[in-house]
A = this chain, B = another copy of it.
Amino acid sequence: MAASTLTEVARLAGVSPATASRVLNGSARKPGPGVSERVRQAAEALGYIPNAQAQALAKSSSGLVGLIVHDIADPYFSAIARGVQDVAREQHKMVLLATTGGTPADEKEAVAAFAARRADAIVIAGSRSSRPEDAQGNAELAAELDRYCRNGGHVGVVGQAIVGAGPLDGYHLVEVPNEELAAELAAKLAASHPGDFVIIGGPEGLITSDDRVRGFQSGLAAAGRPAAEVLRASFNRAGGYDAGLALAERLRTAREAEPVNEGAQPGLCIFAANDVMAIGATAALRAEGFRIPRDALIAGFDDIETLRDFRPGLSTVRLPLEEIGRLATLSTVGSGPGATEGHHDDGPAVTGQVTLRRSTEWTA
């Protein structure tokens, strides 16, 4: 038994397919009440489910919104995904998921797949890359998005503009003030920590990471501090762990050089470009016998929900991730506020909040 079709329903109700269509999907023209009732009963009896593919084909609107993330299991992305999913639900749309690991080539492919499915909108979360080796991939991605927009699609980008994507109708940006917030974090940390700073950044060219690193540096500079050394590692927990091991080694030699003065304020404050890296670094330092915040201070970025109960409480910058997902989706798909018109709009303002917790709080 294949799924029953509109024609079958119409036949059972003794009407034409046109009429059946009219009653079953609220067209402009309302058939008479008697007919409507017959059709509805027939549909019920047959367990009729309209074929969304056919509907989409006929109306050329699919009710789909595509979501592109690096990794859905990453709490950063899953939080955004929740926001996207929320709005999609409100708007009676379904979300189509693609994970790309941040590879522009894969992202291009995902955009093409969404375009093929005639998704009404595409939301791209996850940092762009500005690495030279990604330049071509980015260009292709931009071209693909251009085409998608030109064909009437809407795209919402979280974070920063697609490198090379031109100002186009239907292209929306939810800007995250990574740089400013990182600067603010640096300023606050500089106020209470007189010692050195070290930054654990993601791979060079990952724009979100670069922005945060740059912001942190400029915050330090504004506070009259020397620039911090930057360690590069992969933008996840494992990367943080690796960097943490390196830092542990460094702490050890420093401790040997300058014999232990118990109770002294730790000489090092670490800033990791995101929370999971911070957690990884913390784990590494602990594994090497150091304690936070006794032996080193550490701060992250994002304020991942699952990590809020971490001990010591991780100093970080709270980002309204779910809201960011909501806004990005609304800007593309919504018709109400947030669906700002026009070229390459900057979308509604997102702001974060520096949140200092125990991990950077030195107490004698």
Contacts and interface: CB of A to CB of B under 8 A. Distances in A.
A53 B49 contact: no
B71 A151 contact: no
B62 A73 contact: no
Given A50-B116, A96-B94, A150 B1 contact: yes
Nearest to A143: B47
Interface residues of A, number: 56
Given A116-B49, A306-B75, A94 B85 contact: no
Interface string A189-220: 00000000000000000000000000000000
Nearest to A112: B49
Please give the count of copies of this chain that the complex contains: 2
A115 B75 CA distance: 29
A351 interface: no
Interface in A269-294: 276, 279-280, 282-283, 286
A182 interface: no
Contacts of A81: 72-73, 78, 97
Given A75-B306, A237-B309, A279-B306, 20 more contacts: A1-B151, A2-B152, A3-B115, A3-B147, A53-B53, A53-B56, A53-B118, A72-B72, A73-B79, A73-B322, A81-B97, A89-B99, A94-B113, A95-B97, A276-B306, A286-B311, A309-B310, A310-B310, A310-B311, A311-B311
A350 to B, nearest CB: 18
Contacts of A74: 78
A57 interface: yes
Q: Which 5 A-B pairs give the minimum distances between C-beta atoms?
A: A73-B82, A78-B78, A52-B116, A283-B309, A52-B117
22 contacts: A1-B150, A1-B151, A49-B115, A51-B116, A52-B113, A52-B116, A52-B117, A52-B118, A57-B57, A71-B82, A73-B75, A73-B81, A73-B82, A73-B305, A78-B81, A82-B99, A85-B99, A94-B96, A94-B97, A94-B98, A96-B97, A276-B306
Interface string A155-183: 00000000000000000000000000000
A18 interface: no
A54 interface: yes
A307 interface: yes
A304 interface: yes
* Most B Cβ at <10 Å: residue of A47, A117, A286: A117
A57 B52 CA distance: 9
A150 B2 CA distance: 8
A118 B51 contact: yes
Contacts of A322: 73
A328 to B, nearest CB: 15
A270 to B, nearest CB: 15
Contacts of A62: 53
Given A82-B71, A97-B94, A97-B97, A147 B53 contact: no
Contact of A2 (B73, B95, B151): B151
Interface string A135-147: 0000000000001
A347 to B, nearest CB: 22
